[in-house]
Structure 1
């Protein structure tokens, strides 16, 4: 009976230590990426990827061809 209690305590302690380690890692990652500004304007030579030069007929044609 004493061995069962001791094994249960060891498993609980290992689980608790892993949970605290995982939580601390998540908090550190959150603190690191909280300062990261994703929506800053791009710097340097940027190229516009998508333009609005298409007419309604072109968009409708693309819609039916691709099946979107």
Structure 2
């Protein structure tokens, strides 16, 4: 009976250690990506993707042609 209790305690301690390692690893990753600025203006030879000179008719025509 003592052996069963000791084995259960070892599994519980291993579970707590692995869970803590996973939790703190996720917190470190989260802290790393919180400092990452995704919406900085692009640097270098960037190309403007959106053409704002399209009329509503042109946009509807493209919408219906592509079937979206």
Range of TM-score over shorter length: 0.7 to 0.9
Q: Which residue of 2 aligns with 1:27?
A: 27
TM-score, normalised by the number of residues in structure 1: 0.81
Number of residue pairs matched? Answer: 68
- Following superposition, the deviation at residue 21 of structure 1 comes to 0.4
**Take 1:20 and 1:45, find their aligned partners in 2: how far apart are those partners?**
45
**Take 1:49 and 1:63, find their aligned partners in 2: how far apart are those partners?**
17
Q: Which runs of 4+ in 1 moved over 4 A?
A: none
Q: Which residue of 2 aligns with 1:65?
A: 65
TM-score, normalised by the number of residues in structure 2: 0.81
**RMSD of aligned residue pairs (Cα, Å):** 1.4
**Take 2:53 and 2:36, find their aligned partners in 1: how far apart are those partners?**
33
Q: Which residue of 1 aligns with 2:46?
A: 46
